[in-house]
Structure 1
Amino acid sequence: MRDDARNNTAASGGCSVRMWGYLPAASPQRAPLLQPTPVPSTPLNDPLKMVCNGGCGFGIAISESGKLNTWGSTTELGQCYLISGKQQEVPEPYSLPTESPIIQAAGGWAHCAAVTGDGEVYTWGWSECVPNIKSNPDETEQAQGDDTSPSGPNTSLQLSPRNNVVSAISKPSSSAPPLRNGGVLLGKQSGRQNHRNLTCKTSESKGAEEVLKKRKVVSFEDRGSPESPTAAEENVFAPPCLVILDPGIRISTVAAGGRHTLALSDAGHVYGWGYGGEGQLGLGSRTRIVSTPQRVPCFSSLENGVTIGEASIPGSCVTRIACGGRHSAVITDAGALLTFGWGLYGQVGQGSTEDELSPCLVSAMRGLRVVGIAAGLWHTLCITDIGDVYAFGGNQFGQLGVGGNTAETSPRLVDAPLLEDETSVAVACGARHSVVLTGSGKIFAWGWNKYGQLGLGDSNNRDLPVQVTMNDGGRAASIACGWWHTLASVHIK
């Protein structure tokens, strides 16, 4: 591995990709990588140039020629091989039905998405995350009108013929996360909905109790580590297919959450699809499955006087997007931060634990210009134009970096001594850990560290930022987080 990494560095002009955390097939005996480790070179002598966020047990990166590469996948504890490629130590191109170079990609809990140079999006993975899929009509009706079924999508599915891709049925090794206990209140709703008022719709209360018990066993919160329960066999995974959008729409960026996807067009419009039960698609409702891309109404108008509810939203288009486990965030061209989705831990930053079904301005950040955003399983980070980092949401493992483990429902400045003389330029969130890149090329990490995802040489959690040391003194150029791992591109001195 060491020689391969050296070759990769030389071929890429003094830049290499480092990995640490849980990437089972990429480490001996599938042990966690506790400190930054060079990623071996690709077999086609096509050096990696861009690291991508997301992936459960596997890394995602884009090569110089525009090939999407994956490595470190696992068919036993992590993602299905249809999503992440083969179990492998060395990055290899993931086959996509396009000749256009890939310019950006992201991975969610059980799906991935990639953007081509032509402005098209390809996505694959758990079927409810992949649009333009035809499911059993009864299944679709139940999915939109009742959420008590413990099973995944119907196993008899067919991709839309216009995708020109053959359907696939597989039994993956990880199930998608169910909703929180209590079910959902369906139908169109606007504004905030207190999570405590949600009801479980079922004809028999005893049946509902059994469903909730099953959900608790395989709940999303409990599935945040490799030793979590195995998946239900009903889930179906779809191969890569083209996302059908209206003519003229060109996508520049995608973000993948637990079971939902956002796509940002070059015109600054946001489109969403997938699971929307907590409002994470920002469509003003709790529609369980959105099977075709829908434009997210971040603005009521793209001309002057734009408003959502009672708050005036600065800006005229969206420039950044991020997806967390079950919440989302976007930034406007004026630096305004909007959030929507699940709010149980305060991850939407509205000062409460209520869900936001439509994009809502984070008023606590008014007056500050936000330029970067990242979202984890239960928390959110953002960066201002002067390099300050703010955090809010769940903090069970210190992932907010503000000391202690108390959740924050409103943005709080990460005022750590080690960051006093640093200017933060990028943030990334894993499931329960956080990473920041500074202008001086330093990386700081904090939060959950059971699998070495902080890169500090041990498995101890941190509730304040700690610098990640590169053994060769390399200077980091970019960062990305998977659910249980971290990636960085590093310039060698």
Structure 2
Amino acid sequence: MSEAMEDAGNLESSGNLSHKIVAISAGEAHTLVLTGNGSVYSWGRGMFGRLGVGSENDELSPVRVKFGNPNNVKIVGIAAGAYHSLALTEDGSVWCWGYNIYGQLGNNGEDSNEEKYTEGDYSLVPCLLNKFIGLHPSDSSTSVSEGEGKESLRICAVKAGGMMSLAIDNRGTLWMWGNCPQESKEGALSFETSFIPAPVWDFHGRVVVKVSCGNEHVVALVSATESYNGEDLVCYSWGHNNHGQLGVGDRESRLHPEVVKTFDEESPWAIYELACGAFHTALLTRKKNPDDASESICWTFGRGDNGQLGHGTTQSTLLPTPVIELPENVHLVCVDCGLFHTSVVSSAGDVWSWGMQKGLGLCPDVSRAESDSGDALNPRLISCEPHQPKFPDPDKVVCGAAHTVVVGQEGYKVWAWGRGRSGVLGNGEGVDCHIPTLVLWPPMLDDSEEKEPDAKSETDEKLSSALNELNLLQTKLSIMEKYAGILHGSVFGKPFDEKDIPVSLQSSGSFDIGKEWDNMLEAADNRKLARLEMFYRDMLAGVKDKLMKRKIKDMIKECLQSSDVKKSYQ
């Protein structure tokens, strides 16, 4: 194993762009990553073809997504909706795959074959979206011709959420398709299926810089004027607002974008990151004053019944409110929202989560009472490993419906935790994990990639296999350390440390538990002995209590059976 560890270390230090993660996005139960050489990998639940690998099979570890034939497309951006995925190429083209019932792939399946579509409801492999219309409003006197608009159009960013897809072009125009907010016949807000990307003309003449969307609400950062100088962004929101997720102070839904007044043109705060959960929103800001720009504040609003707002309560909030329990004077580099939880990452290597199941992104155990769901109402610091609380150089965090993923070590390592069924955690297993576990990254090379121009050498393949083995062993070791730490803390009342390992076990690998127990008792002081006695008594009392209950249960069962036998003879 020492050779494998050495090879893995050499591989990481080589700086191979095919192994370096530069972007990541999470859907309901799947994750996408983009590497420095323009490749896309996915893992998790495969239903509806959201992984883009040609089937609906689950993938327990990262697999490569292929675009076109030959596969020479370079991807520069990715986005994951609930059950669908998007990818942006170097030339501005958009590829889509996965669930399509609301048109979120921008295609109704009529011009696709059976290998790609099943009745137009979903695509198992990436399909090129080619239905962007002219870049101008029909009633604009200053608009260019449709042909000119098409020729100059180039998509620069993609985003997805719920059943909706979004894109921003090189002119700063926002495009939407899928389950989009539209005006009903009665003039009210309605969400309608749209297979064709359409521009949001409310921002015509200004620049949309960033956008995020939840189940049925959208938040965007837009320049206050026609030009964008980096400091004049205004926050807009629209869509459904039944939980206050628009941050405008009420629960009334909005058909058209409306300014979030806390972050209007006069606000002292500059937003640099935004994220939408299903029914809540999170923003990261810094002071516009350069002297205070290093300090970050996380603001949240919307639905809060699982603690996903981090305000210490389960109340919804209608206006942006700071998460005050986060440490002061820290720089937060990233934020993301899951279905009912939120996570942030600091430049110092700290990761905080809050919301459902103590911020782990796990749905509550159905066997528990609702009052014992374990939701974290305030930020909870997540430890990378039992003996390593900080993540090494984390710079990205994403949240799925019930899982969280962090990218660190300059993009060469990935951790995931939460609901792990269907391979959602990418660690080669399909079980839930309450602590960060290493994703099997980089992935092994498959046969179909060997002939590509950027294929790895035979040596790289062996090193990749060694690193996968190392990652899997590190994951198992982390879980065992966590388990040992819990047991040690329960018995001895202090955290587990390497010096607590018996000398005989360290030197020879053999362990005489009886002898070591006697040695430990001999070396213990009165306080330790008293604690051990108390622990023993509590354990003994619990066993006796459980034994008594079991005997009573067996007696009742035997009595009932005897009664049934008697009745059968009457």
TM-score, normalization: structure 2? 0.57
Partner of 2:261: 297
Unaligned runs of 5+ residues in structure 1 are 1-8, 144-152, 155-234, 307-314, 475-489
**Contact conserved, 1:15 with 1:491, CA < 8 A, in 2?**
no
The structure 2 residue matched to 1:378, chosen from 332, 337, 340, is 340
Q: What fraction of aligned residue pairs are identical, expressed as a percent?
A: 26
The residue number in structure 2 matching 1:413 is 381
Match of 2:248 in 1: 283
Which residue in 2 is equivalent to 1:3? none
Q: Which among 446, 452, 455 is matched to residue 417 of structure 2?
A: 446
Return the alpha-carbon distance in structure 1 between the equivalents of residues 239 and 218 of structure 2.
6
- In 2, Cα distance between the equivalents of 1:285 and 1:424? 36
Q: Quick check: 1:31 aligned with 2:57?
A: yes
| 1:436 correspondence with 2:471 | no
CA–CA separation in structure 1 for the residues paired with 2:349 and 2:362: 16
Q: How does 1:138-177 map to 2 (within 5 A)?
A: 140=188, 153=190
Distance 1:135 1:44, change over 3 A: farther
Task: State the distance in 1 between where 2:456 and 2:408 align.
Answer: 14
Distance 1:121 1:410 in 2: 34
Aligned pair in 2 of structure 1 residues 84, 56: CA closer, same or farther (>3 Å)? farther
- Aligned-partner Cα distance in 1 for 2:304–2:184: 30
In the alignment, what sits opposite 1:21? 44
Report 1:146-295 matches (<5 A).
Answer: 153=190, 236-237=193-194, 239-266=196-223, 267-287=232-252, 289-295=253-259
Pairing 1:464–2:435 present: yes
Once the two structures are TM-superposed, the CA of residue 21 in structure 1 deviates from its matched residue by 1.4
Q: Which amino acid in 2 is paired with 1:456?
A: N
Q: How far apart are 1:28 and its partner, in Å? A: 6.0
Asked if 1 retains the 8 angstrom alpha-carbon contact of 2:106 and 2:194, the reply is no
Offset, 1:74:
3.6
Runs of 5+ in structure 2 lacking a partner? Answer: 1-17, 20-34, 110-116, 118-122, 136-149, 224-231, 288-295, 364-371, 446-454, 461-570
Compute the displacement of 1:14 (Å): 4.0
Shift in alpha-carbon separation, 1:336–1:27, aligned structure 2, 3 A: same
Match of 1:68 among 94, 101, 107: 94
Distance 1:429 1:51, change over 3 A: farther
Is 1:393 equivalent to 2:381 in the alignment? no
CA distance in 2 between counterparts of 1:53 and 1:323 reads 13
Please tell me whether the aligned partners of residues 105 and 113 of structure 1 are also in contact (alpha carbons under 8 angstroms). yes
Report the structure, 1 or 2, having the larger helix content. 2
Q: Deviations over 1:374-417 (max 9, x none)?
A: 0010000111122211101112894279xx97211111111231
Report the Cα offset of residue 274 of structure 1.
1.0
Note the C-alpha offset of 1:472: 4.5
The amino acid across from 1:252 in the alignment is V
Which residue of 2 is the match for residue 212 of structure 1? Answer: none
Report if the CA contact (8 A) 1:283-1:296 is conserved.
yes
Shift of 1:49: 2.5
Pair 1:426 & 2:393 matched: no
Q: Determine the structure 2 residue equivalent to 1:205.
A: none
Please say if residues 112 and 125 of structure 1, whose CA atoms lie closer than 8 Å, have aligned partners that are also in contact: yes
Given the superposition, is the C-alpha separation of residues 443 and 291 from structure 1 closer, same or farther in structure 2, using an over 3 Å criterion?
same
Equivalent-residue separation in structure 2 for 1:48 and 1:405 (angstroms): 44
One-letter amino acid of the structure 2 residue matched with residue 37 of structure 1: V
Shift of residue 246, structure 1, vs aligned partner: 4.3
How far apart are the structure 1 equivalents of 2:456 and 2:354?
A: 31
Q: 1:13 to 1:442 in 2, by over 3 A?
A: closer
User: 1:368 deviation in Å?
Assistant: 2.5
Deviations 1:25-80 (A, max 9, x none): 33465111111001113348662423433323322111111112112x245xxx43
Residues 352 and 379 in structure 2, CA contact (< 8 A), matched pair in contact too:
yes
Q: Distance in 2 between matches of 1:400 and 1:268?
A: 35
Cα separation, partners in 2 of 1:380 and 1:61, compared to 1, 3 Å:
same
What's the C-alpha RMSD, in Å, of the aligned pairs?
Answer: 3.1
Equivalent residues of 1:114, 1:121 under 8 A apart:
yes
Aligned residues of 1:379 and 1:400 also touching (Cα < 8 A): no
What is the alpha-carbon distance in structure 2 between the residues aligned to residue 283 and residue 44 of structure 1? 49
| Corresponding residue number in structure 1 for 2:278 | 325
- CA deviations on 1:215-254 (whole Å, 9 max, x unpaired) are xxxxxxxxxxxxxxxxxxxx64463211023454201111
Q: Which moved more, 1:99-108 or 1:432-441?
A: 99-108
Q: In structure 2, what is the Cα distance between the partners aligned to 1:295 and 1:467?
A: 41
List per-residue Cα deviations over 1:78-123 (Å, max 9, x = no partner): x434546453443222232254222222212121111111111001
Structure 1 runs of 4+ with >6 Å offset = 490-493
* Alignment TM-score, normalising by the size of structure 1: 0.65
- Amino acid in structure 2 at the alignment position of 1:436: V
Larger RCO (alpha carbons 8 Å, 6+ apart): 1
| In 2, Cα distance between equivalents of 1:13 and 1:423 | 17
Tell me the equivalent position of 1:136: 185
Distance 1:64 1:435 in 2: 26
- Which residue identity lines up with residue 423 of structure 1 in the other structure? D
Distance 2:456 2:396 in 1: 16
Farther-moved stretch of structure 1 (86-95 vs 117-126): 86-95
Is contact 1:35-1:457 (8 Å) kept?
yes
* Partner in structure 2 of residue 119 of structure 1: 172
Matched with 1:80 is: 102
SS at match of 1:350: coil
Contact 1:323 1:375 in 2 (8 A): yes
**Paired residues of 2:417 and 2:436 also in contact (CA < 8 A):** yes
